[in-house]
A and B are shown apart, each in its own frame.
Chain A
Amino acid sequence: MSSGLEFQAGLVDRLFPFHLVLDRDLVVTQAGPVLRRLMPRLTPPVPFDGHFAVRRPTIALDFGAFLGEAHSIVMLAARTPAELVLKGQFVPLADGSRMAFLGVPWITDLEALRRLGLTIGDFAVHDSIPDLLVLIQAQKTSLDDASKLARQLGAMRDAAVRASRVKSEFLANMSHELRTPLNAVIGFSEMMTNQILGPMPASYLTYAQYIRSSGKMLLDLINDLLDLSRIESGQYELEETTAELQPLLADCVRLVGADAARKKLQVSLDAKPAGLTLRIDARAIQQIVLNLLSNAIKFTDTGGRIEISASTDAAGVTIRVADSGIGVPREMIPKLFEPFRQGHAVLSRKYGGTGLGLSICRNLAEMHGGGIALDSAPGMGTTVTVGLPPERIVRG
């Protein structure tokens, strides 16, 4: 039955500019105009195998074998130019004594277009090869963009890491250089405050007290900076030992006792279970607790309450410092753990402090495999919880 698909003369060349027609002896009797331009020696009639090899599928060089592949995709490789590969299919023609090969150049390398001398007008409108080439080019460009961006990001990251390291080293060096003369300032102002060499006029005594308290504040800041820079530059290493938690906490309470008494604060300690022993850097944990207690004292008004407790459960160890102080708004809480942040600029001026303490606490807790959380609301006090993983428990 006829399909009724009959082309006008000349239309086949436009629809299939790379086609071939073969007779029973596999002689090329007709070739598409663009194919003839690419292969100047392809001047019908010429033997098929003098100009082409069937690259896929593997079949005999035989008219019947070719027609037997009428439903297969076929790859023909031109002998010259060797770069030209056609993909298409064999199609029997109505008279039964001839067949056509309807195909197009298979090109995935855009450079090959130039080498073969092909332009968009050489392809039939229905041919998708030009679309494929547009897509390939776009993907190649996108990949080039992505690699360029990745290189830029990598360079920026390296620069940032370098800058951070230089900053930390600078801070560590500067802190060390500043601490040495400060010790002299604090030591001698303390001698003056205690009037060791004899009585001083009242105003001089006040000045000496200012020098001493300012010197101490500066030393605290420098120590915090030194700790933070050591942590950030990876130079802070935990010195882990086995330590009993309750005496450690009790020491902390004792150390802040004078400050708490000055503000008539009630400080209670409840650490369970008795004898709870941990593998920790005792100095670092003490630094965390002292910092939290110092904050609690600083931000709790006279006559207030501070509770420090410790407990264990399946999640590990929890150390909690709770106060009845001024508290902070919830939206400020995440910022409190960023270096140089305090709840409020006004608070910072009123209460002093470096704004580094909580950041250091978080880093030290995390170095122990634990974490820190803060819960607070204005006027409702603040509770800071330090968690340590169960692996830290040696006994208890």
Chain B
Amino acid sequence: MYGLINKAVHDLVTSKFGEAKWAEICQKAGVSDPNFITMVKYPDDVTYRLVGAASELLNVPAADILEAFGEHWTVYSATAGFGHLLDFAGDNLVDFLSNLDSMHTRVALTFPELDPPSFRVTDVTADSLRLHYYSKRPGLTPVAMGMVKGLGKRFKTPLKIRLDRGRADGHDHDEFIVTYGEAARA
């Protein structure tokens, strides 16, 4: 994964627990140089190790950390210089999610090593949609859920998300039901 992801993990941890805890996590994860460069590719293993170490040292389940990371990602990527690209993907939840795959494909064309996940939107109604999430990386379902929650905050749209079926059930991808607007308040 590109350094941007690891920098977002760093930002999430330090914003809540401080630099000292981050240093401890890096040490436990065996990451000797935690000065990640945004557009440099790092082995996926580095990110997994950081999350594993954070889970252990903060005594928080890894899935919760991943979901918190997904939610933080939408905020962090906007502040880390990619705000305009986020704007470019759409100015409301449904448009954004519908355009997300095109955006990821454009990014993958420019950075072939990035290998971003794929998102499809189907069954769009006035208050819900089905989000299909395809990823070659295991265990990141909570990240996608957190990211959608983060987008709800970005667009000030109340929403609920639940995993309808997923890779854990032997499916080839995850499918979420996203309910938004008044329906989400119910």
A interface residue numbers (CB < 8 A to B): 110-111, 113-114, 118-121, 125, 130-131, 133-135, 137-138, 140-142, 144-145, 149
Q: Mark B96-117, 1 if CB is under 8 A from A, else 0.
A: 0011001100110111000000
A125 nearest CB neighbor, chain B only = B102
- Which residues in B have their C-beta under 8 angstroms from that of A131? 106, 109-110
Complex CA gap A113/B84 in Å reads 8
Contact of B103 among A113, A120, A140, A142 (CB under 8 A): A120
For window 84-101 of B, CB contacts with A under 8 Å fall at 84-85, 87-91, 95, 98-99
Question: Within 8 Å CB of A138, what residues of B?
Answer: 39, 110-111
Q: Would you list 14 pairs from A and B whose C-beta atoms are within 8 A, ordered by A residue?
A: A119-B90, A119-B99, A120-B99, A120-B106, A121-B102, A130-B103, A134-B106, A140-B81, A141-B80, A141-B81, A142-B37, A142-B38, A144-B81, A149-B37
Total inter-chain residue pairs, C-beta < 8 Å: 68
The answer to whether A134 and B85 touch across the interface, beta carbons within 8 angstroms, is: yes
Question: Are B95 and A137 closer than 8 Å at their CB atoms?
Answer: no
How distant is the Cα of A131 from the Cα of B110 in the complex, in angstroms? 7
CA distance A113 to B85 in the complex (A): 9
Complex formed: what's the CA distance from A251 to B80 in Å?
69
Q: Which residues of B contact A149 (CB under 8 A)?
A: 35, 37
Report Cα–Cα, A110/B102, bound state, in Å: 17
**CB pair B88 A130 closer than 8 Å:** yes
Complexed CA–CA distance, A118 and B81 (Å):
18
CB distance B110 to A134 under 8 Å?
yes
CB-defined contacts of B95 to chain A, threshold 8 Å? 119, 121
Residues of chain B contacted by A130 (CB below 8 angstroms): 88, 102-103, 106
Q: Which residues of A contact B111 (CB under 8 A)?
A: 138
Asked if B110 and A113 sit within 8 Å, CB to CB, the answer is no
Residue positions of B touching A, CB distance < 8 A? 4, 35, 37-39, 80-82, 84-85, 87-91, 95, 98-99, 102-103, 106-107, 109-111
Cα separation A113 to B91 with both chains bound (whole Å): 12
Contacts of A133 in B (CB 8 A): 85, 88
Contact of A119 among B38, B88, B106, B110 (CB under 8 A): B88
The answer to whether A121 and B87 touch (CB under 8 A), given A138-B110, A142-B39, is: no
CA distance A133 to B91 in the complex (A): 18
A141 touches B99 (CB 8 A): no
Closest CB in chain A relative to B13 CB, distance in Å: 19
Q: How far is the CB of B136 from chain A (nearest CB, A)?
A: 21
Point out the residues of chain A lying under 8 angstroms from B110, CB to CB. 131, 134-135, 138
Could you say which residues of chain A place their CB within 8 Å of the CB of B87?
A: 113-114, 119
**Cβ distance A136 to chain B, nearest Cβ, rounded Å:** 10
How far is B85's CA from A134's CA once the two chains are assembled, in angstroms? 7
Determine how close the nearest CB of chain B comes to the CB of A85; give it in whole angstroms. Answer: 18
10 further contact pairs, Cβ within 8 A, besides A138-B110, A141-B39: A110-B88, A118-B88, A119-B89, A120-B99, A120-B102, A121-B90, A121-B95, A121-B99, A130-B106, A135-B110
